[in-house]
């Protein structure tokens, strides 16, 4: 009997082991080797950005005169280059060619036109907003209000914020673009044409407008209530993709220049006057017209959309783009 019990006990034990083995977890599969981390792109030997000091781009003046960017990137032996490109369309052409990394102070109109035509750029900050600094000038007593411009010659840079300003001012008075004779000229030429009587009104901004006023011109209207005069800072899309860390450092340095403006106003006024050739009092008069806060706000995106509408309505843009896709993720 005892032998039988022992035999049954042994068989039961074996069955329990077999059951446990059958219900146990399967052996873990060997871990896949981790994918190798994508190596960061090597730093470039140099970065290039535009230096546009007009109408009154004080942060750029501070950055360049104090060598802030040079100091920031010297630790990585990255040189900073300033190609002399001030016209918006030329800036975006250089970006498309890969010879310009940052368009630092680029009109919203130029940025939208370039992006719509396939230029890979991203807006990384607002450079400035200055509706009061952008004006329509006239001379003499014949033209007292915007509606008096009907049939008259108006000079200014085509496809720019100023062009948008005059068309918005005309629309407010129930007039169309064809109701004036628009003559495309740069700012100095426009002011000169007004002063010598070749045109009846001129589009102007900042110091050029102040000089013209001192010579006898007067302001017919500013951009206030018509355009925000939004200027942006843009980067080449490929550069942002490869070097997001450098873009962040660029933006931090730009913010430092704005902080320097706040902390040392007298030094900055003197520096700007020396660089632009303007009297300190003139700089002091114009500077409060500018908002240099770099943060991209919903209102800035709305203004860029209005700018796109202006370009579409006036035949300068054939198709619309999604403005939000032009905006880089905030650093």
- Judged against a pLDDT cut of 60, whether residue 240 lies above it is answered with yes
pTM of the model: 0.83
Q: What is the pLDDT of residues 163-193, one digit of tens each?
A: 999 999 999 999 999 999 999 999 999 999 9
Per the prediction, the chain carries an average pLDDT of 88
* Contact yes or no for 70/273 (Cβ under 8 A): no
Q: How far is CA 289 from CA 104, 191, 199, 204, 302, in A?
A: 19, 20, 27, 14, 21
Is there a cis peptide before residue 55, judged by omega within 30 degrees of 0? yes
Q: Tell me how far apart the alpha carbons of residues 264 and 330 are, in angstroms, rounded to a whole number.
A: 27
Average pLDDT over residues 140-156: 96
Q: What is the pLDDT of residues 193-238, one digit of tens each?
A: 999 999 999 999 988 898 899 999 999 999 999 999 999 999 999 9
Q: Please report the pLDDT score of residue 330 as a whole number.
A: 76
Element (H, E) at 312: helix 298-313
Could you tell me what percentage of the chain is helix, strand and coil, using 3-state DSSP and rounding each to the nearest 5? 50, 15, 35
In CATH, what number does 46-129+230-326 get? 3.40.190.10
- Judged against a pLDDT cut of 50, whether residue 34 lies above it is answered with no
* Percent residues over pLDDT 90 in the chain: 78
- Judged against a pLDDT cut of 60, whether residue 31 lies above it is answered with no
Q: Do domains 46-129+230-326 and 132-222 have the same CATH topology?
A: yes
Strands 153-156 and 201-205: parallel
Q: Tell me how far apart the alpha carbons of residues 52 and 278 are, in angstroms, rounded to a whole number.
A: 16
Task: Give domain limits for the chain.
Answer: 46-129+230-326, 132-222
Is the domain spanning 132-222 CATH 3.40.190.10? The answer is yes
């Amino acid at each position: 009997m005892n032998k039988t019990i022992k035999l049954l006990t042994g068989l039961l034990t074996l069955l329990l082991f077999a059951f446990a083995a059958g219900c146990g977890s399967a052996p873990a599969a060997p871990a896949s080797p981790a994918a190798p981390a994508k190596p960061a792109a090597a730093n470039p030997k140099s970065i290039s950005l535009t230096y546009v000091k007009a109408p009154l781009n004080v942060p750029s003046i501070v950055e360049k005169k104090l060598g802030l960017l040079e100091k920031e990137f010297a630790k990585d032996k990255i040189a900073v280059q300033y190609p002399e490109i001030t016209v918006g369309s030329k800036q975006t052409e250089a970006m498309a060619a890969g010879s310009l990394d940052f368009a630092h102070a680029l009109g919203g109109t130029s940025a939208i036109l370039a992006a719509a035509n396939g230029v890979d750029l991203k807006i990384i900050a607002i450079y400035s907003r200055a509706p009061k600094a952008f004006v329509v000038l006239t001379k003499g007593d014949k033209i007292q209000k915007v509606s008096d411009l009907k049939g008259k010659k108006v000079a200014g840079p085509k496809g720019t914020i100023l062009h948008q300003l005059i068309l918005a001012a005309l629309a407010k008075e129930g007039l169309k673009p064809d109701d004036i004779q628009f003559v495309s000229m740069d700012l100095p030429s426009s002011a000169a044409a007004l002063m010598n009587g070749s045109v009846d009104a001129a589009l102007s901004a900042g110091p050029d407008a102040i000089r013209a006023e001192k010579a006898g011109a007067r302001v017919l209207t500013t951009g206030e209530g018509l355009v925000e005069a939004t200027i942006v800072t843009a980067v080449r899309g490929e550069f942002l993709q490869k070097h997001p860390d450098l873009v962040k450092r660029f933006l931090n340095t730009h913010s430092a220049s704005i902080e320097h403006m706040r902390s040392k106003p007298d030094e900055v006024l003197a520096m700007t006057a020396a660089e632009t050739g303007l009297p300190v009092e003139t700089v002091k008069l114009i500077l409060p017209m500018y908002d240099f806060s770099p943060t991209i706000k919903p209102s800035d995106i709305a203004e860029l959309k209005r700018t796109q509408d202006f370009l579409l309505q006036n035949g300068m843009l054939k198709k619309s783009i999604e403005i939000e896709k032009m905006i880089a993720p905030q650093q």
